[in-house]
Amino acid sequence: VDILYFADSLGCMNPTDVSFICETIRTVWREPLGIHAHNNKGMALINSLTAIEAGANWCDSTVMGMGRGAGNVNTEALLMECSSRGLHSGNARHLTICSERFDNLRLKYKWGPNPYYHYAANNCIHPTYVQAVLNNVRYKPDQVDNILESLAQNKSSSFNERALRNAVNQVEVHSSKGDWDATDWLKGRKVLMIGSGPSVFKYKNAIISYIKRNRPAVIFLNINDYIPSELGDATIVAHKGFVQCGTEVFITTSMTNAWSGQYSLLKHPIIMPYGRLRTELGAETKNLNILDYGLDVQEGAFHIGASGCVLQWPLGFAYGLSVVTQAGATDIEMVGFDGYSSSDPRQGEMNEVIATYSELQNCLPLKSLTPTNYQISQGSIFEPQIQSNDFVVIIPARYRSTRFPGKPLADMCGKSLIRRVWDKCVEAVAADNILVATDDERIQTHCVDQGMQVVMTSSKCLTGTDRVCEVAHQVERDIYINVQGDEPLIDPKDIHIVLESARRHKSSVINGMCPIENEQDFRSPNVPKVISAEDGRLLYMSRAP
């Protein structure tokens, strides 16, 4: 060991504590000594200086005190104090060139001391508890106070998710019996549950197209500005203390304005445990279509009933799973459930909900159609929904052509090239049996906006045939018809000819061809030449004459 450090892990030390620790360590340790101070009580600087006076050789610090929660000692301030005491010869003011960028980070990640961290330090509460409740928009300031007060009554010097949940449950209303029976409300229907993650905005066009094409039962978890409410079957609100209206979160003692505004515009029912929210909602709910499905909070519980559920988390997601399961849905697809970082307690909480639900006897299959960090099956909002059982028409579309970059999106008399090829294919087969295959997000976005089914392939595909091969690994069919993405004048009858031939010769590769009738086409490198045997079997293909 070269250096011995001690850390103020809970940020609860004062200068007297620091002096005592340094003096005690120095009775048995003569090598370099260091301190890692946290700023929960705003004392990281004075504690670091006290450690120096008591013989410490090393002090950890960060620019602008950057760090999780309350943060650490400020490097600039520490260097200025050391300089004024003759312990540092540099000019700490040179660090001000970093201040603007780091200040933007501070505003984004919200580190620094506040009364909650101070209270936690005084009561030996691990700062991760404070970080967890402050990062959760469900809790109003008075609820944060009550949660921390509950934690202070127990040993909370190390973080434990169950201890946090117990503290939260103690400040929640524990009983709410509903009067609406959800049984068979969604019997036999697939559900699309829409969360509030950034991916909803990013993929909004694809989500809207998916809803219109597949007609799932659409359940919103709180208001969503990006997906039209008329596409939904219900909005779910489960937690007292917040009403989310798009990107704004109203955290008020009275949520009257939020309810009378955004929620009154909904074109579908609102499902909630009304007994838990009645006090704060007031009389403004009288004109709303509320379906009262109850919610009780009980440690270790996940029980789903006809008119209510008993859960260990008062979370909208867990409540929504309960409603949809009791309603008789067949499976649950999700968008906007992006997840958090692995160090965020909310990530663990959501994964625990998923794991516990998945162990229930009546659980439904869960799949996220937008990117997610949760431990859940991953699909794609762009997954094709082919209706035919035996064939699919695939239109390969490459943006990065060396001869004509962006060719699929090139305008042809008011329509893109890829759109004109698609329209020709639609003259031959149903649109549900057609896919555009691409590796470019610009083409993907264009197809979604145009209502054309699209599937993403890798950028490693050198030819259209390679792209069709990748699609074949994603979409299982008997017959794959490759229609070139730059053939806007293709005769739809040719697609029928190839399809019927493929059905007769299922073990063969079918390639359309026609006679070359003039020398110009014969010598043109733009016209592929085909040599076949008398029985039609392909012998050779080349662009050379």
Between 287 and 381, name the one with better pLDDT: 381
60-84 residue pLDDT tens: 999 999 998 899 999 989 998 998 8
DSSP-assigned states of every residue in 115-132:
HHHHHHHHTT--HHHHHH
Res 94: pLDDT: 78
Nearby residues of 74 by Cβ (< 8 Å), 6 or more positions away: 44, 45, 61, 62, 63, 64, 65
Residue with tokens 């209706």: 387
3-state secondary structure of 302: strand
H helical segments located in 11-114: 15-26, 44-53, 75-84, 99-109
pLDDT at 246: 31
Please write the tens of the pLDDT for every residue from 127-154: 988 988 888 766 778 888 888 988 988 8
Q: What is the mean pLDDT of residues 307-334?
A: 93
State the residue for tokens 């029980």.
303
pLDDT score, position 257: 45
Half-sphere exposure of 96 (CA within 13 A, CB side): 5
Q: What is the pLDDT of residues 329-369, one digit of tens each?
A: 999 999 999 999 888 888 988 999 999 999 999 999 999 99
Conformational region of residue 339, where left means phi above 0, alpha means psi within -120 to 50, and beta covers everything else: left
> How big is the chain, counted in residues?
545
- Provide the percentage of residues in the chain whose pLDDT is more than 70: 91
User: pLDDT digits over 201-231, tens only?
Assistant: 988 888 998 898 788 999 999 878 899 989 9
pLDDT at res. 248: 31
pLDDT tens per residue across span 416-426: 999 999 999 98
DSSP tag of 447: H
Question: What is the chain's alpha carbon radius of gyration, rounded to the nearest angstrom?
Answer: 32
The pTM is what? 0.56
For 453-474, the pLDDT digits (tens) are: 999 998 888 888 899 999 998 8
Q: In whole numbers, what is the pLDDT of the chain averaged over residues?
A: 86
> Six-digit token pair at 513?
């061809």
Question: Residue 127 to residues 134, 150, 164, 287, 340: CA-CA distances in angstroms?
Answer: 11, 15, 12, 43, 18
The Cα-based distances of 371 to 77, 114, 203 in angstroms read 42, 34, 10
Hey, what are 114's tokens?
């506040």
End-to-end Cα distance, the chain:
79
pLDDT at 386: 52
DSSP state for residue 282 in the 8-state scheme: G
Instruction: Write a three-state SS string for 305-325.
Output: CCCEEEECCCCHHHHHHHHHH
- Mean pLDDT within 399-411: 87
Distances (CA, A) of 308 to 294, 302, 478: 4, 11, 47
- Specify the pLDDT at position 383: 66
What does the block give as tokens for 353?
């909900």
pLDDT band of 437, cuts 50, 70, 90? very high
Mean pLDDT of 165-173: 72
Determine the pLDDT at residue 260.
47
Q: Kindly indicate the confidence band of residue 493, based on its pLDDT and cuts at 50, 70 and 90.
A: confident
Mean pLDDT of 484-510: 86
Residue-wise over 316-351: b if at least 16 C-beta within 10 A, else e?
A: bbbbbbbbbbbbebeebbbbbbbbbeeebbebebbb
pLDDT tens-digit map of 228-268: 989 999 999 876 544 333 323 333 333 444 444 566 677 78
366-388 mean pLDDT: 80
Return the sign of the alpha-carbon dihedral for residues 23, 24, 29, 32: negative
pLDDT at 293: 94
Strand 248-250, strand 243-245: pairing: antiparallel
